[in-house]
Amino acid sequence: NFLITAGPTHEAIDPVRFIGNLSSGKMGIALALEAAKQGAIVKLVLGPTYLDCNHSNISVYRVESANEMYNKVNTLFTNSDISIFAAAVADYTPENVAENKIKKSDNNISISLVKTTDILAEMGARKEDHQLVVGFAVETENELRNAKEKLEKKHLDMIVLNSLNNKGAGFEYNTNKITIIDKQNNILNFNLKDKSEVAKDIIAKIIELR
């Protein structure tokens, strides 16, 4: 049983605006499809994206906000054997959401933000011995050091590092260039590949760890 998160979250400012990011969900969807093709039962928690994910072994749960993603993951995590957190979840959300569209008036406006629940950290702390938890780290500087710190701090079994300094890697691309680090500090570097091929590399490493 796989639990996979994918895509961005949208944190509402008012009925027509939100805070978001550039994640497309392509990497997480590729992981869900690869796991399903290998016979896994997959629960895919998918943030707002135009993409679909269709396979008889995959159940898709669409969410919008970080809080909605947390609530859905919270209900599915206990029954998962392997959880891959590939979603780009907002770290902050507006403290108050305007009931009506904010009109253009003053030259400046301020929006107070509050932290969202750290889904990856909470699930990493809760995992049982039979569960394996994989995180993603998207970095722009001190990439390897930051990824290793995240691996340890959030009690992960493995982390997949994306550097936005690598051409063709990261958000919106059909390709990705990753580094995998496991909790034994084994480091695997991969060449730039189509995300479907990257998914095969990640799933293969997970099977090895299992």
Say how far apart CA 201 and CA 38 lie, in whole Å: 13
What mean pLDDT is predicted for residues 47-51?
Answer: 96
Helix or strand or coil: residue 174?
coil
Please determine, for residue 172, whether its predicted confidence score (pLDDT) is greater than 90: no
Band of pLDDT at residue 122, cut at 50, 70 and 90 = very high
Distances (CA, A) of 195 to 120, 162, 172: 22, 12, 11
pTM of the predicted model over 0.85? yes
Answer whether residue 28 shows pLDDT above 80: yes
Tokens found for residue 33: 């499809």
Distance between CA 27 and CA 170 in Å, rounded? 9
The pLDDT confidence band at residue 166, using thresholds 50, 70 and 90, is confident
**Once rounded to an integer, what is the mean pLDDT over residues 10-17?**
96
Q: For residues 103 and 106, which has the higher predicted lDDT (pLDDT)?
A: 103
Percent of all residues in the chain with a pLDDT value above 90, rounded to a whole number: 86
What is each CA distance from 67 to 112, 119, 139, 150, 159, in whole angstroms? 17, 9, 23, 21, 23
Q: pLDDT band for position 163 (50/70/90)?
A: confident
Terminal Cα distance for the chain, rounded: 13
Do 147 and 159 touch, CB atoms closer than 8 A?
A: yes
Q: Is the pLDDT of residue 179 over 80?
A: yes
Residues forming the active site: 21
Mean pLDDT of the region 76-103: 96
The answer to whether 49 and 60 are in contact (CB under 8 A) is: no
Segment 57-81 shows an average pLDDT of 98
Mean of the pLDDT values across residues 53-70? 98
